[in-house]
Structure 1
Amino acid sequence: MIQRDHPKLIISRQCKLGQLNRSAFYYAPVRVRSDLLAVMKEINRVFTTYPFFGSRRIAAFLRR
């Protein structure tokens, strides 16, 4: 585990020793809003039904 306040090893060295990218260490997950999640599910449903639709056609389909 990486310790932010380690007396001898800086964070970049700890990440290197643990084979972890520093960006992964600093990453904080962001919650997805429920309304956005609903739109994403609808896009997925349309795409699985019509896999030959492109992004423009899916957008037109969703507007209707």
Structure 2
Amino acid sequence: MVEKDSKEITVKRQCELLDINRTSIYYTPVPISPEEIEIKHKIDEIYTRWPTYGYRRITAMLKRYGYEINRKRVRRYMSRSELK
């Protein structure tokens, strides 16, 4: 673990010793939005019911349900979920 307030050794040197990128210690992950969780659940629901549907058909189904979403986002969510 890198100690940012250390007086003895700099952050740069600590990162060198640990062989990690210095920018990675300042990164704070962005929390997943409730909208994203809802869309992912809906994609999973559609895919479970129709496993032959690809990202284009699932995008069309989501649009019918009233979601404002494009095919690239659906494809990204499906690939992260390892669907098709």
TM-score (structure 2 length as normaliser): 0.55
CA distance in structure 1 between the aligned counterparts of 2:42 and 2:29, rounded to whole angstroms:
23
* Aligned counterpart, 1:33: 33
Give the superposed CA RMSD. Answer: 2.3
Query: Within 5 Å, which residues of 2 pair with 1:1-64?
Result: 1-64=1-64
Go from structure 1 to structure 2 and tell me whether the alpha carbon gap of 1:3 and 1:42 turns closer, same or farther (over 3 Å shift).
same
Give ranges in structure 1 of 5+ residues lacking alignment.
none
Taking only the aligned residue pairs, the percentage that are identical comes to 34
Go from structure 1 to structure 2 and tell me whether the alpha carbon gap of 1:25 and 1:59 turns closer, same or farther (over 3 Å shift).
same
